[in-house]
Amino acid sequence: MAAIIIDGKVVSASVRERIKAEVSEMDIKPGLAVIIVGSDPASHVYVRNKKRGCEEVGFNSWVYELPEETAEDELLALIDKLNGEDNVHGILVQLPLPKHINESAVTERIVPEKDVDAFHAVNAGKILKGEDTLLPCTPAGIMELLSHYDIPVRGRRCVVIGRSNIVGKPTALLLLAADGTVTVCHSKTNDLPAVTREADILVSAVGIAGFVTADMVKPGAVVIDVGMNRDKDGKLCGDVDFPAVSDIASYITPVPGGVGPMTISMLLRNTLTAAKNIIKTN
Ligand code: GUN
């Protein structure tokens, strides 16, 4: 039986509607500052979409486009300035950064209250401890998709392929916080298919087209594909062999149109949360 296709565009639109409704009742506008260094075309597309998302829900937004040769000190000085501005509630530095800039120094410079990517060690630590905090956007988007489709996590076997700080590790922690029984796999895992076949919920964040084949999936599993790859014809595709796996899964996310559309909506939600938290403490 064919799987139900999880529609990230529909869920993303409903999240944005809720944000927009909440903003219309607020006395101030939440504000997001986005910094991009250099001229990577894909990063510029992402930043444009973030600005458009802000406009859609009624936020203020500012985009700082800095040249490739910007010194780390200059970037840190801009972050310091934005950290101190009252109408800026969220700060995001688009990654990757040019090689001469230390990514960790930059993400640690944003005050945790305005860290809408949730990359700061304080926010990462709170997620590890299961404390209330801003949540990393892609993992939060995955949880929102599961919840929207009433897919239970509690007590179920969840397998995450990939252990990045941005996706794999925080996704595992959010599934654990939702009472899933979680296994994290990676490139050194022995007999990966034997592990992934245990999964009731399988999340792939590998970055290799066609990596997850049907023999790696238990019939009836929920399959979440975080991959953003190009196939041999240059077409956008995920990690999962979609035609074969969608025949045996119960639910599956497509690429494009699955997890991808959720990420910016979760960024907008974090910006709203940051704004409300900052207003409350002022
Ligand atoms: N580059 C690719 N994904 C992301 C993300 O989620 N946040 C930031 N800041 N940069 C990215």
pLDDT, the chain, mean: 97
Q: Judge if the beta carbon of residue 106 lies within 6 A of ligand 1.
A: no
Residue 50 lies in a domain: yes
CA 128, chain centre distance (Å): 16
pLDDT tens by residue, 228-255: 999 989 999 999 999 999 999 999 999 9
Task: Report residue 1 as tokens.
Answer: 């039986």
Instruction: Assess whether pLDDT exceeds 90 at residue 1.
Output: no
Q: Is 204 in the pocket of ligand 1 (CB under 6 A)?
A: no
**Strands laid side by side in the 60-66 sheet:** 60-66, 31-37, 90-93
Q: Do residues 85 and 32 lie in contact, with contact meaning Cβ atoms separated by under 8 Å? A: no
User: What SS3 class is residue 50?
Assistant: helix
> 194-215 pLDDT, tens per residue?
999 999 999 999 999 999 999 9
Same domain assignment for residues 161 and 202: yes
Specify the number of domains making up the chain: 2
Using the mean position of ligand 1's atoms as its centre, give its distance from the Cα of residue 96 in Å: 7
Whether 140 and 107 map to the same domain: the answer is no
Q: Percent of the chain scored above 70 by pLDDT? A: 100
- Whether residue 193 is predicted with pLDDT greater than 90 in this model: the reply is yes
Q: Is residue 142 part of a domain?
A: yes
Predicted pLDDT of residue 278? 96
Distance between CA atoms of 72 and 106, rounded to whole angstroms? 8
Question: What letter does residue 252 receive in the DSSP assignment?
Answer: E
Looking at the fold, whether 256 and 141 belong to one and the same domain comes out as: yes
Average pLDDT over residues 12-36: 98
The 10s digit of each residue's pLDDT in 91-100 is 999 999 999 9
Phi, psi of 170 (to 5 degrees): -65, -30
CATH of the domain at 251: 3.40.50.720
Q: Which residue's alpha carbon is at the smallest distance from atom 3 of ligand 1?
A: 95
Cα-to-centroid distance, 211 and ligand 1 (Å)? 23
How much of the chain exceeds pLDDT 90, in percent?
98
CATH of residue 92:
3.40.50.10860
The answer to whether residue 116 sits within a structural domain is no
What's the CA-to-centroid distance between 271 and ligand 1, angstroms? 15
Query: Would you say residue 268 lies in a domain?
Result: no
- Do residues 113 and 84 make contact, with C-beta atoms less than 8 angstroms apart? no
Residue pLDDT, tens place only, 136-192: 999 999 999 999 999 999 999 999 999 999 999 999 999 999 999 999 999 999 999
pLDDT over threshold 90, residue 282: no
Whole-number Å distance, alpha carbon 94 to ligand 1 midpoint, is: 5
Kindly tell me if the per-residue pLDDT of 274 is higher than 80. Answer: yes
Q: Is the pLDDT reported for residue 281 higher than 90? A: no
Which amino acid belongs to residue 256?
P
| Containing structural domain, residue 244 | 136-260
Calculate mean pLDDT across residues 15-41. 97
Is 249 contained in some domain?
A: yes
Q: Per DSSP, which regions of the chain are E strands?
A: 4-5, 31-37, 60-66, 90-93, 157-161, 181-185, 201-204, 222-225, 229-230, 236-237, 251-252
- Residue 9 placed within a domain: no
What pLDDT shows up at residue 197?
98
Q: Which residues are catalytic?
A: 50, 94, 117
Distances (CA, A) of 182 to 13, 21, 170, 253, 274: 29, 35, 12, 20, 29
Q: Which of 63, 101, 117 to mutate to test the pocket of ligand 1 (most atoms within 8 A of CB)?
A: 117
In-domain check, residue 270: no
Please indicate, yes or no, whether residues 102 and 143 belong to a single structural domain of this protein: no
Is the same domain home to 157 and 88?
Answer: no
Residues 141 and 233 in one domain: yes
The H or E element that residue 274 is part of is helix 260-281
How confident is the model at residue 136, as a pLDDT? 98
Ligand 1: nearest atom to the Cα of 43: 1
Q: Indicate whether 153 and 232 sit together in one domain.
A: yes
Does the pLDDT of residue 121 top 80, yes or no?
yes
Task: Look at residue 259 and tell me whether its pLDDT is greater than 80.
Answer: yes
Residue 228 lies in a domain: yes
